[in-house]
Chains A and B, each alone.
Chain A
Amino acid sequence: MIEVRIHKELRSKGGDFSLDLELEIPEGQLITLYGPSGSGKTSLLRSLAGLLTPDRGRIARKEQVWFDSQKRTNLSPQKRNVGFVFQENALFPNMTVLGNLKFAQQKGSSHDLSEELIRDLDLQDLRDRYPDSLSGGQKQRVSLARALAQRPDILLLDEPLAALDAEMRLKLQEYILSSHRKFGLTTLMVSHDLAEIIKLSDLTVVMEKGRIRKTGTPREIFMERRLSGKFQFTGTLLELERERVITVASVLIGNHIIKVAAHPSEMEGLLPGDQVVVASKAFNPVIYKVDEQQ
């Protein structure tokens, strides 16, 4: 269990805001942080890693205190054993893929994890390449491998999949999930993709304006309306067309655009770009008499 209770005044491009978080992070789970940009997700990860010092509060993992403003304790990032995958990958340009992994390994670790990770994450063809020659998806795969090479207790991923195309995302999601299980990690990941969150996480923390709005399983949070539906999908609202009596919403679900018609009052408050659930309560059965003559 990691206990977090922190306060920090932050200056961001969108204006100043304060970070006020109280959170208990269970160990061994994959937790996603969800919320609009500027809600403090990255700041939370950075505070956990020791890269950002809160103004007040306390962070403790098990018996070990990482930060305590009253006792003036602030464990350096070097001593927290946290793996961090940066949004912009932060691979060392002067080292090969293998070099990056070897550098991350702790000195005197008995067992060479680099080769194993290269195999696990299918990096064989890239091992002697330099980061500059890799594609975005390859870079993030190496970045993940590098964070794992240091055998962290906790893995922090700051929107690692944000800049990737759909196919690459799916692949990397698999790698993240399998590594999380294999190494028994506590993983915190920032994500904006509902499908990804529902697929990967045990627990989701919804953040807004520097505060935690909700914590729960992804299902509890994103399907809270508990429709007794036969089927439901989450997607992104693309546009709303107002016809005379109905409004037609175009929703992107996976790679398909689906049109949903409804009464304008039901569409109130929806804006293009919103994440929405499309559900159907029940199909009306249709019964025909089978004509014997046919």
Chain B
Amino acid sequence: MNWDPLILTFELALTTTLVLLVVGIPLAYWLSKTRARIKPILETLVSMPLVLPPTVLGFYFLLAFSPNNAFGAWIDEWLGIPLVFSFAGLVLASVIYSLPFMVQPIQAGLSSLPPSLSEAAATMGKSASTQLFRILLPNIRKSLLTGIVLSFAHTVGEFGVVLMIGGNIPGKTRVASIAIYDEVEALNYAAANTYSLILFVLTFVLLLTVYLVNGGYLKRFWR
């Protein structure tokens, strides 16, 4: 039993989720507040990965970051790490791919709060970042949890994007979903089953946690 694909999957999902928290919170905050004309366009772009076949996303990534073109070569040189067939490339692609799963719940949560909360804080002399971290985010904990868990689980479950941009390099880009496909191709059903079962149970537990916490079923244990 080779654990590498599973470990790699969780490394990827964890890194992606952390990056998404840093990127997604400001983006969702801005989207929830702005009246800029480009807002619908940005919202569309954020939501595109929901409906676009992952292979399309992966294909354009592959084209964009290939060292064979000017942009890809420049990125390669500037960053010093290649973005195709590498872990860094996987993280970047996964961040884009799971973006709506982080941004949408947080944006919806922030929009559901009455504007008077941040207005009250503003009249008290509190800056926008103080408002965000001390007032707004603590009051949308459920949305935050949803965003974090969905992004994590969605990254665990991705296949097409990874295959296109990461390929199938053991220990580097060979995540569990690809390993399963590989084992099935090799008629290695037992190994495929182990990976599959672990992913099945894990995603079930993750999502169950969200529903238990957000549904208030666990409240009596900590209050």
Binding site for B on A (CB under 8 A): 49-51, 76-84, 86, 88, 90, 92-94, 103-104, 106, 146, 150
B117 touches A77 (CB 8 A): no
Q: Give the shortest distance, in Å, between B142 (CB) and chain A (any CB).
A: 12
- Give the 6 A-B residue pairs with the shortest CB-CB distance, closest first: A90-B116, A94-B138, A77-B122, A90-B120, A78-B125, A86-B116
The residues of B with any CB-CB pair to A shorter than 8 Å are 114, 116-117, 119-127, 134-135, 138-139
Q: Is the CB of A84 within 8 A of B120?
A: yes
Alpha-carbon separation in the docked complex, A78 to B116 (Å): 14
Instruction: Identify 16 residue pairs between A and B in the complex whose beta-carbon atoms are under 8 Å apart, listed by A's number.
Output: A51-B119, A76-B122, A77-B122, A77-B123, A78-B122, A79-B125, A80-B123, A88-B114, A90-B117, A92-B120, A92-B135, A103-B121, A103-B134, A106-B125, A146-B120, A150-B124
Whether A88 touches B116, Cβ cut-off 8 Å, given contacts A94-B138, A103-B134, is yes
CB atoms of B123 and A84 under 8 A apart: yes
Pairwise interchain contact B114-A90, C-beta atoms closer than 8 A: yes
Partner of B119, one of A77, A80, A103, A150: A77
> In terms of DSSP, what is the predominant structure of the interface of chain B?
helix
Check if A49 sits within 8 Å of B138, measured CB to CB: no
Residues in B whose Cβ lies below 8 Å from that of A104: 124
- In the complex the two chains form, is A51's CB within 8 Å of B123's CB? yes
B114, B119, B123, B139 — which one has the most chain A CB atoms within 10 A of its CB?
B123
> How many cross-chain pairs have Cβ atoms below 8 Å apart between A and B?
55
B125:A49 contact, CB within 8 angstroms: no
Closest A-chain residue to B138, C-beta based? A94
Residue of B nearest to A94 (CB): B138
In whole Å, how far is B127's beta carbon from the nearest beta carbon of chain A?
7
Q: What B residues does A88 contact at CB under 8 A?
A: 114, 116
**With a CB–CB cut-off of 8 A, which chain B residues contact A103?**
121, 124, 126, 134
Given contacts A78-B126, A82-B123, A150-B125, 13 further A-B contacts (CB under 8 A): A50-B122, A51-B119, A76-B122, A77-B123, A78-B127, A84-B120, A86-B119, A90-B119, A92-B121, A92-B135, A92-B139, A93-B139, A150-B124
Q: Which residues from chain A contact B138 at a C-beta distance below 8 Å?
A: 94
Q: How far is the CB of A50 from chain B (nearest CB, A)?
A: 8
Q: How far is the CA of A93 from the CA of B135 in the complex (A)?
A: 8
Task: Say yes or no: B120 contacts A86, CB within 8 Å.
Answer: yes
**In the assembled complex, how far is the CB of residue B96 from the closest CB belonging to chain A, in whole angstroms?**
32
A150 to chain B, nearest CB (A): 5
Among candidates A49, A92, A93, residue contacting B123 with C-beta atoms closer than 8 Å: A49
Chain B residues positioned under 8 Å from A94 (CB to CB): 135, 138-139
CA A150 to CA B121, docked complex, whole Å: 11
Q: Which of B119, B124, B125, B135 has the most CB of A within 10 A?
A: B124
